[in-house]
Structure 1
Amino acid sequence: MRVFFVLAALALAITVKGQDRDRIELTYTRQLDMHLPDSSLLELKKMYDKATLQKDPLTMGTSLQHMGNICYYLGNYPQALDFHLRADKIFRDLERKDLLAGNLNDMGILYYYNRQIPLAGKQYEEALAIYHQMHNDEGLADTYGRIGHLYEKQHQYDSAFYFQRLALQQYSRISKKEGIAKIYENMGSIYEDLQKFDSARYYYEHSYDLYEQSGEKVAIIEVLNNLGDISRKTGHYNEGLLETRKALILAVKANNLYGKGAAYHDIGKTYNLLNEKDSAYYYLELSRRATIDIYSAENNRQTAFLSVLFDMDKKNDEIVDLQHARDINIIIAISTIIVILLLLVLGWVIISRQRLKIRNAVTLALQNQQIHEAQQALMQTALENKQLQENKLVQDLEVKGKELTSHTLHVIQKNQLLEDLRNRLELMVKDDKRDQKKQIQQLIQQINLNFNYDEYWTGFREIFEQVHQEFFAKLKERRDDLSYNDLRLAALIKLNLDSKDMATLLAISPDSLRVSKYRLKKKLLLEEGESLTSFINSL
């Protein structure tokens, strides 16, 4: 019947093309896992190889994940972890978070059985984060339950209860009876560990009811055995016998070796507590035989599984050898063709290059001659333009210099005239003619105001900056807080005027001029023996 089921599944898969066929193959292979794990593994390996050739990473990753689950079922944890790790990389590359989260939960179980508890917790935490991001209630519930189970095995019961209750909330939200039943069973187990048997019975009974509604026969057997344990531990031996015998009947019908072995063992322990030694011995002997049958079945299954793994490895090695041989032949053929083509191309290139060299030599000589002539012409034109520009600049400077000199002389003459008038008027004021005194004082005041008139200084500065470009900028780089009068004094020193003319232009006395020069020298931070005139002329 099993062989027929396998053939029927494969026949259906062959009628479907492409990736859809791979999905159907994978679905039917999952149904074979618990019955024919070795056959399932072979079929999954074929699917993986085909997906590799077709460059279908999704089917590759799913096949690897399921092969890992089969190896876990058969107890080969290292091989299972290898398959899951390879699937993990594919799912991450594809950014398939839904598949990645499920694979992380599978890896968490493997790390737990390998006694790598921190790594198991890390896988669950990452899966939990993904399910939160995707708002996947069922995934959250499953992961919460796994984390709670992990805490239970570490005897951290408060944390175990916390996560089991979170799982129960999620399963209740989506009304998944099988999930709720599993969480009830987990909570019953925690209470049993804490020896709170009434609470444990309460949750086991609720779990039993939900499993019965869902038709979960294997889970029902486990729960009945747990209820029998609770009755035995609380001294209700007859009630415990009834519950365990009920589990035994179901295990026999389902041919569940584990369920039968556990039931025989529990019945034997109960009869021993009832001091019925013959019955206790009888059932304990049945338990021992069941254990031997389990070990025998496991050994047969492991042998078949290892044989499949060996065949897979052998076939992989053969495929790799054939692939290497084929690759070598292809490389040799391609290399030969490339060498021949290169020789032909090389011969053609050598002949073409000889022809081109002659043509290029002539062309290059003509081009060099033309370039040389053009460069000579451009250089001559550039020199002429530069000479014209220099001449124009010299003429402009001469004109500006004349304007500056004329402007300066005009200001000097004006100020000299005003100074002469002021002196004469001061003499008139000293005269005894009192009636003219007031008018003359007004004229003197008007003349003094004329000394401070800035119109001439503005025009002077514009012309000065055209002749002595960047003078004021350089001066301010030395000291940026120079006053208006400091700048005028520096400009007059730059023109090499004598002290008398500078005093006249600034409308101050020679003594005041010396003081202004001394203050300017201090502001410019000049040394005691350093000349102010030399410094300004150097700018």
Structure 2
Amino acid sequence: MESKYYTKNVPVFKIAKGVRSMVDKLVVLYFAIGISLLSFSQNQQKIDSLLKDFSSQKTTIDKVKTLQNLVEAYKYYDLNKTEYYAHKSLKLSKTTTDTLSIAGSLYQLGSLKKSMSYLDSSEYYFNNALKLWKLTDDKKWLASCYIGLSDVYRLEGDYDKSIAAINQSIVLSKSIKDTFSEALALGNLSSIYRNKGNYTLAYTNIIKSQKLFEDIEGKTLYKADTYKSIGEIEYHRENYFEAIKNYKIALDVYKKENDYNFQGLTLNRIANAYISLKQYESAKTYATEALNLAIDKNFENVISSSEFLLGEINYETKNYKTADFLLNEALIKYRSSKNINSIYTALLVLGKTATKTKNYNAAKTYFNEGLLIADTINAPRESQEFYYYLSILNLEEKDYQNAHNNLKRYSIIKDSLSKVNNARDIAELKTIYETEKKEKEIALKAAEIEVLKQKEAIAKNRQILLGIIIFSIVLLASALFYGLRQKMKRNKVEREKLDASLQFKEKELTTHALHLAHKNEVLLDLKSQLKELKSGTDNSRSFQKVINAINLDINNDNNWEQFRTYFEDVHKDFNSKVKRTFPEVTSNDLRLMSLLKMNLSSKEIANILNISSEGVKKARYRLRKKLSLSTEESLQELIIEL
């Protein structure tokens, strides 16, 4: 599996395919700020925020951390700025004594140089970072560095050193139970064995990696990488449709997550598979899409891979001149970066092109150089291909002895690889993995069903409880409503009784008051008549006696007390309220106010109080003064309101 950190891998092609180290994914783990799941605009906002932070930060350590975060933010979008901030970070970190900051900056530059295929520089930076992390005994970062170095050794073709470094990383990862780093290392180990042509071990390790990633939350891009690696194994096993299927699963994720570098690499892988299927138009479509994307994003590794593939397509479609030009362009870039895998693959196709154009000397030069590289780095898969095409070249030259010898060497290596790569073993590995995966899915579905059942039971119980609550509320409301209705009925009956009683008492009071007024009126009239008779007779003393009796009856307090009793039955607390509100009011004033409360006429009031109508007016005037009423205010209304 290849690094997510700009790993400039070898091109995708039939014989020797570059593979992706996952070393630099640990950068994401430590330095990344979550940009892999952000859109470009969101990433730009983050970059703006980091630049703003950098300008305001005061300590050097903080500035270094921000620069390291800027490297992570730019790595998918702008290679030039990535390199600028990586160098700036290292330069600034060296002004401090903080070992971790310096080591982190060295590591980022190692990853970047590897992605640009500057393998010597990459190895230099990784080794220096490794030395510093050994001082701090940071096993997590040591594991990461060994993965990076392993990838460099793989690209240089030194598979023994590559395996040794990756095994160091696996041991360290297991010692600290770092499942993520272990999964990355196993993916890298799979890539090494794939390059060596041992597909059984390649499959064994990529399945182990995939299983570990499945148990880690998130890590979408890394899971996609495992599908891409499986695609590459299937490609080398000549299962091209299966390879394309796995490539496309990975490609969908890379597009969704805006991983432009790996979009380009995977597009090239798909193009390579279509070349093997002799579907050259489809191959050209994918290779051209990859090239355009790489030019736009300045990904040199993808550009060289795309040029190589377009050269191979031209070779297969017999456009040998164009093929030779494109392949040489790619070879120049590969030699500059010292990418061994890419070099011997370009040499192979250039040799085939030269053979077709009968430029046998050039072809022999290409094949011999490639064979020397393959044998030196112990790459039997590539060696067998060079021997095969050398035998074809020998036949073209009618050199039958060398043709026979080279074909024999080809057959020996092929048989050896066939024993190593037992198809049945790989099929069993795939079956075991698929079975375990299905069992996991079944167990997961069973668990989901159980959860759904529990949720359904809880929901059902909630509904029952809700029903009981609603029923109880309705029942309680009904009882309250019924009780309220009964109370309202009782209140109505009582109110009707009270109203009837009040009406009766009011009628009784009015009758009594009118009776009292009428009686006093009769007595006064009688008194007036007796006074006239008295003046016309000598028996004045007898008349005076009767007149006194009449006066006594008119002014009898018992009559008034009886009236007050009737009045207070109708107008509860009237007298006490008047006294509380107007304490200066006298008992005579209270009598007047009681009669005014009954809305009696002045004549009726005068008869009851045994005063003249003029006396009533004077009494009303005195009462207004005591009550402090203005001329605009009504005495009658005030008393009625009381």
TM-score between both structures, scaled by the size of structure 2: 0.40
Higher helix share: 1
Higher RCO (CA-CA < 8 Å; seq separation 6+) = 2
